[in-house]
Structure 1
């Protein structure tokens, strides 16, 4: 463990199933907390990164595993975690998920009412041409499937941890209502807390907001969102040259049978928080193979941060990064030659992009579309806070993420891929096909350009 404080787990032996595991952000967090994780990921390149990092992985479609191979999952798993693909819910996406929120809520009600998977699957095929929208239902479907699994003794998951883009908060709110009031079809109920959190308040050197949900099975105590350890980044305060001030724009909510309860998760006024981490804080000094960026620099991003236009544009090395996305490789970095002259320097390497996501230095990014892998990942520092809060642990020591990550040996990688893909060196017929991973074209009509 990263802390020797006498805080017991609410579970004796936590074991995390990470759905939509990506390149391993939550698994890295679990590793640093001595919590075993098992990830399911269908993108080949993300799996290659996971194998190179030594992470237990199944290269598969989450939905297919639930339907056809659930009994093959380790029966000891008692924590369910997941961040379903966010493209259709994201402000930057086509918006199919946002348009369908009410329909998704209806499916949640049908699932907890015990409607058959076959009926729901047939209906889902008619509901949307972009099946990624329906993937937000998979964590609930896994929770239900656990109670019907002979291999598990029909034992429900004890803890559920979910994260997504802020626009998915209404879905998590409906999850909370369903898990608290109705419960799973077998009668299992949960205590649930959810809200939108700013990751820079948890030591991640970027401004990134995430909608999160933490649920504990009734009898394991009331859950709470993680306490912020750092101050919020306020662009207006920064621009005026003032010290950053604390702010909280989203209030976490705990559901019970009667109403929403507000929970202040801010420290008291006599508990000063650390300043948010800047890009320079994590990139300035050499570590591992990272040579360090000793010169002051500016970053021009073509992408906003958390939908807040005030957080986009140019930032200095003394500020947090804008939201790290799959476009991180397009960000232009300018270095200072002297006080008044700058020139375009080297763009962020994948190692540096990973560090801005709070991955350890030298994390073994592999395969193609590495920038997209980095941008889609759960920031490990944020993941450590989420898992610690979910399991009743104190705030974690995220400084352990500053240690270079040891790559897996060839023997370890081959063993992991043999299990994850069915062969030590290649994918097999049981792996998802690459062509099935391409999202469908937008169903929205394009605006025609007018010619003057």
Structure 2
């Protein structure tokens, strides 16, 4: 099969890129503005001497880039890559769309999809794929604002997804989107995301069913992936994390060179479930990002009571939070026999299913389906005003596309492009044989 290529915009630490390379696609370049996230990406996708390494353009410096600056400096260079990038992938920042935080129509990050469209116009790939939160399809409501001349004006507003579809259509792409739950793809996490796929209109005519063909191929890829990787229909939190539990294991100072030795981590004895074996395959040396939170005794006691008394697998309600004197609005006591709730960028959103503590970065990564050999760089957390400027490890993992979901998407796109190529070849052979290219009646 032809080795199709891709580029990744807003790549973060590399979850989408990793999944696409695991599907057999070849990476060319990736753009990420945060230095910590790009350090993680480069460490795993550029510096490791494996078949997953990118064929990076020589003129493009391997560093954290702001996409606006990049387009200003290298627009002509990107145009020169036309015909060399088959798929343009990306996950523009979603904080302004997300229901987990404050939805803000004027959040400047919402407009980064325009930069994505500019790159589409420059590269003109065969296909595009965008991952975002479901809220991208929901119109932002401006409360307490009424247009007296047109009281129904609010209902006429477009969501950012609608605007994206309009822009991509003008650029020559047919677009479709579906809400997908990562837990259906072998990811031990209930994570619903909007997957947007576009195909150049001149290629869609070769697909049986047009653009909708891609999502039929994606369902086939999903079924095939579970079978190929030996995974059940549902991977639970305990399936993913039981080998990382600390009860009965030796605690020692962290082995992470970027972390103070006052933090502890647990020894690792090896995988115990098919999912853990899959994640641990290819890993060598000490486990990365195993640092345990330093909870006070009263905090551990409170967490223990929550695990003993509260319903698992659902967010704590107002009454429960008041009972335990909790000010946070989003706290999930995890259930071990179900997939985990959606991993966010805040480490104290989720409590371990059997131990009175929050999760480690490595446990976050397991729930996202990052393999154990994938190492994370930079600070573990940040706070205050820096939260909007930095992307520490918990944030990198929480923002990432689960690699196993991305792998299935990559398999479907690869199959789709192969079908288009085969249809074109058949058309060319028929034309050269002198027979009519299109049969009539």
TM-score range, shorter chain: 0.5 to 0.7
**CA-atom RMSD, angstroms?**
3.2
- CA-to-aligned-CA distance 1:206-254 (integer Å, 9 cap, x gap): 01111111111134323322217779xxxxxxxxxxxxxxxxxxxxxxx
When residues 58 and 322 of structure 1 are mapped into structure 2, their CA distance, relative to the original with a 3 A threshold, is: same
Secondary structure at the aligned position of 1:316 is classed as coil
Secondary structure at the aligned position of 1:284 is classed as helix
Counterpart-to-counterpart distance in 2, 1:371 and 1:46: 11
Structure with the bigger percentage of helix: 2
Secondary structure at the aligned position of 1:344 is classed as coil
Verify the 8 A CA contact 2:333 2:352 in the aligned structure 1.
no
Counterpart-to-counterpart distance in 2, 1:145 and 1:77: 11
Verify the 8 A CA contact 1:290 1:352 in the aligned structure 2.
no
Verify the 8 A CA contact 2:313 2:340 in the aligned structure 1.
no
Matched residue, 2:365 = 354
**Displacement after TM superposition at 1:325 (Å):** 0.8
Q: Please, which moves more after superposition, 134-143 or 82-91?
A: 134-143
TM-score (norm 2): 0.57
When residues 46 and 327 of structure 1 are mapped into structure 2, their CA distance, relative to the original with a 3 A threshold, is: same
**Displacement after TM superposition at 1:31 (Å):** 2.1
Counterpart-to-counterpart distance in 1, 2:8 and 2:102: 26
Secondary structure at the aligned position of 1:227 is classed as helix
Equivalent in 55, 79, 87 of residue 87 of structure 2: 79
Matched residue, 1:204 = 187
Equivalent in 231, 234, 258 of residue 276 of structure 1: 234
Matched residue, 1:322 = 341
When residues 69 and 323 of structure 1 are mapped into structure 2, their CA distance, relative to the original with a 3 A threshold, is: same
Equivalent in 13, 34, 39 of residue 48 of structure 1: 39
Counterpart-to-counterpart distance in 1, 2:352 and 2:164: 42
Verify the 8 A CA contact 1:329 1:371 in the aligned structure 2.
no
Matched residue, 2:219 = 227
Verify the 8 A CA contact 1:230 1:275 in the aligned structure 2.
no
Aligned pairs for 1:150-169 within 5 A: 156-169=124-137
When residues 138 and 300 of structure 1 are mapped into structure 2, their CA distance, relative to the original with a 3 A threshold, is: farther
Count of residue correspondences: 279
When residues 303 and 49 of structure 1 are mapped into structure 2, their CA distance, relative to the original with a 3 A threshold, is: farther
Unaligned runs of 5+ in 1: 1-7, 98-127, 147-155, 232-272, 305-310, 336-342, 395-452
Counterpart-to-counterpart distance in 2, 1:195 and 1:171: 15
Counterpart-to-counterpart distance in 2, 1:28 and 1:208: 18
TM-score (norm 1): 0.55
When residues 217 and 79 of structure 1 are mapped into structure 2, their CA distance, relative to the original with a 3 A threshold, is: same
Counterpart-to-counterpart distance in 2, 1:88 and 1:81: 20
Verify the 8 A CA contact 1:351 1:363 in the aligned structure 2.
no
Counterpart-to-counterpart distance in 2, 1:179 and 1:372: 29
Matched residue, 1:191 = 174
Counterpart-to-counterpart distance in 2, 1:300 and 1:71: 54
- CA-to-aligned-CA distance 1:196-215 (integer Å, 9 cap, x gap): 11111111110111111111
Counterpart-to-counterpart distance in 2, 1:58 and 1:34: 25
Equivalent in 17, 25, 31 of residue 15 of structure 2: 25
Aligned pairs for 1:237-386 within 5 A: 274-285=232-243, 286=271, 287=280, 288=283, 289=286, 313-333=332-352, 335=354, 344=356, 347-368=358-379, 369-386=392-409
Verify the 8 A CA contact 1:207 1:323 in the aligned structure 2.
yes
Verify the 8 A CA contact 1:14 1:78 in the aligned structure 2.
yes
Counterpart-to-counterpart distance in 1, 2:222 and 2:20: 21
Matched residue, 1:15 = 5
Matched residue, 1:104 = none
Equivalent in 188, 192, 213 of residue 196 of structure 2: 213
Verify the 8 A CA contact 2:14 2:41 in the aligned structure 1.
yes
**Displacement after TM superposition at 1:281 (Å):** 1.6
Matched residue, 1:176 = 165
**Displacement after TM superposition at 1:39 (Å):** 0.9
- CA-to-aligned-CA distance 1:168-219 (integer Å, 9 cap, x gap): 1343344335544xx32xxxx3332212111111111101111111111134
Counterpart-to-counterpart distance in 2, 1:214 and 1:367: 32
Matched residue, 1:438 = none
**Displacement after TM superposition at 1:282 (Å):** 1.9
Unaligned runs of 5+ in 2: 47-53, 55-61, 138-158, 224-230, 244-270, 272-279, 291-303, 317-329, 380-391, 418-441
* Bigger Rg over Cα: 2
- CA-to-aligned-CA distance 1:310-354 (integer Å, 9 cap, x gap): x9733321111100111235533253xxxxxxx525x42211211
Counterpart-to-counterpart distance in 1, 2:110 and 2:167: 19
Counterpart-to-counterpart distance in 2, 1:142 and 1:349: 36
Verify the 8 A CA contact 1:300 1:333 in the aligned structure 2.
no
Counterpart-to-counterpart distance in 2, 1:357 and 1:372: 12
